[in-house]
Amino acid sequence: MPLTPTLSDAASIALRCLDLTSLNDGDTPADIDALCQRAQTRFGPVAAVCVWPRFVAQARGLLPPTIRVAAVANFPDGALDVARTVRDISAIQSAGGDEVDVVLPYRALMQGQTTPCADFLQAARKACGPLTLKVIIESGVLVDHALIARATQLALAAGADFVKTSTGKTRVSATLDAATVILQELANSGLPGAGFKASGGIRSVADAHAYLELASQLLGAQALTPSRFRFGASALLSDIEAVLSGHATAPSTSTY
């Protein structure tokens, strides 16, 4: 029996687990105003908004405490630059942010620089302090299952709260194939609080449904809460609202 037998069930879960995101190069304060208004839907709030560090204070001032404010560090390039990343994290923390999405230096990992990548993640974790840390592994570029698994292991070893698939800025973002590898590593880790975030290219509730089913199979139904599961998306909310309004929804575009 599927955990989410109807699209309406999936839409409700996806809404509660959604990081409503605006990370466009040209974002303005007006865009963030609109984003924060959008985050408070007639069907309930999203889990968080995700913005550039410079907009954290604005977002925090516009949102109730129940909606968390996330921001990105070392984004989207994932350079192996500890000093820059720590500065980004410090700015997020000082502005009242709750969560940090940091990019693992995935190109360095592909070149075999495992120890520098591990050290980078440890520094990011230390800089975050009590803030929630999501580590973006850019699985669509890593591609190889062994590399995706290794990146996930490094993130968890450093104390990441979530492992996130993608920045959404590369040709391939989240895929069910990569998600399976990540979720299996989370399940094998023995860390009961380890979370997963699918990000990039998830535009419909049908897409979201597939990830929810996969996570429920590998982590259990109890993992489908904002503390352990997130979607990073800007387009998904429109389809969530359409489904919850009883309207037709887009078909799934998720692929293995």
Active-site residue set? 101, 164, 197
Residue 41 CB coordination number (10 Å)? 16
In whole angstroms, what is the distance from residue 135 CA to residue 151 CA?
9
Phi-psi region of 79 (alpha: psi -120 to 50; beta: other; left: phi over 0): beta
DSSP code per residue over 35-75: HHHHTEETTEE-SEEEE-GGGHHHHHHHS-TTSEEEEEEST
In whole angstroms, what is the distance from residue 133 CA to residue 202 CA?
22
